[in-house]
Amino acid sequence: QVQLVESGGGLVQPGGSLRLSCATSGFTFRLYRMSWYCQAPGKERELVAVISSAGGSTNYADSVNDRFTISRDNYKNMVYLQMNSLKPEDTGMYYCKAEYAYDSRSEYWGQGTQVTVSS
């Protein structure tokens, strides 16, 4: 069974940090591009960061560039999102997505972890 399980969310003050984790199983992780998305209430789900299957390339939304870092461990089948200098507008449900590197029609989603940035 394919599983993606996010963890690490919570309540944090502006300027604080969180590290999100996504534990995966049931598919060949090293062949999948991994992404983090955020969905705030009343808004569309937006791409935050993406990392290539081998981990050699990363891309970020302009709003999080220089603050967030996506990484992966292809031996542990894990992907991470280090979130620094958090802002209230970073608040939302964060989802982990796996996308087959050779066919973007194949993808899996986790159930999400809530991040709330508030003073």
The Cα–Cα gap between 114 and 11 comes to 8
The Cα–Cα gap between 107 and 101 comes to 10
% of the chain residues with pLDDT over 90: 95
pLDDT for the residue 99: 97
10-12 and 92-100 beta bridge pairing: unpaired
pLDDT for the residue 105: 86
Mean pLDDT of the chain: 97
Map tokens 């935050």 to a residue.
Answer: 48
Q: What is the mean pLDDT of residues 15-24?
A: 98
**How sure is the predictor about 29, in pLDDT bands with cuts at 50, 70 and 90?**
very high
The Cα–Cα gap between 119 and 96 comes to 26
pLDDT for the residue 62: 96
% of the chain residues with pLDDT over 70: 100
Q: What is the mean pLDDT of residues 6-29?
A: 98
pLDDT in tens, 41-53: 899 999 999 999 9
Is a pLDDT exceeding 90 seen at residue 104?
A: no
